[in-house]
Amino acid sequence: TAPFPHTPYSIFHSPFPLHPLRSSAGFTLLEMLIALFLLGGVLAVILPRISFEEDLRSTGRKLVGLLRTFQAQAASDQTPLRLYLDLDQGLYWMMVIEGKEERLPLDPAWKLPRLLPESIRLTEVSIGQDKRMSGRVGVTFFPNGRIEPVTMYLIDNKSNLLGVAVDSLTGSIRVSDERFDPPPNRLIPDRVKILLKASAQAGAGGTAQGGPLAPRGVQ
């Protein structure tokens, strides 16, 4: 007997795999490279958009939090506050209203104006029916917990839009990636008109029409 068993081979049968580059999952190396190339192309398109949208939404969340914070502070301190928005420079800052005068808040966090992210622009702010697309706009927060009816729109470098709208009567704040419908002409109860008028007179001078210059420096 031969020391090794004889295994017959034919020219039509090979002991080696016919596809040496095929993985155990059934894909060739070329197919895997093509798939990775396509995946890279898709990510190159999607990731920047996700990044811009997240910056926009993050700025929107901060803005809503800011509105809620000022609303609570005005009610807690029983002092009207005003949030100024500079559409041209992308700045925003807070002032405390005392009679017909305004002063900087004692909180050191608000001694200097804050700057919107470089990729975000505040393009439009409406106080009631008064729409502004440039200059400075002031949003008043009243001691009774109400906020002036304001609608504002943010846009990023990819023209993604985010809208923030405050309902003065209910205090609700809405956020949308589309433009809001024009607010209905709702009747304001007389008792509410009196409260709003008294608070507005206590802090007259600047709401939705310019107001003071921003404090020097940027935070």
| Domain parsing of the chain, residue ranges | 43-202
CATH code for the domain defined by 43-202: 3.55.40.10
CA pair distance 93, 107, nearest whole angstrom: 12
Dihedral of alpha carbons 96, 207, 123, 188, sign:
positive
* Distance from chain centroid for Cα 131: 20
Residue 180: closest CA among 169, 158, 164, 159? 164
What pLDDT was estimated at residue 8?
53
Q: pLDDT category, 204, cuts 50, 70, 90?
A: very low
Q: pTM for this one?
A: 0.65
pLDDT in tens, 92-119: 999 999 988 999 998 888 889 999 999 9
Q: pLDDT category, 74, cuts 50, 70, 90?
A: very high
CA pair distance 174, 7, nearest whole angstrom: 79
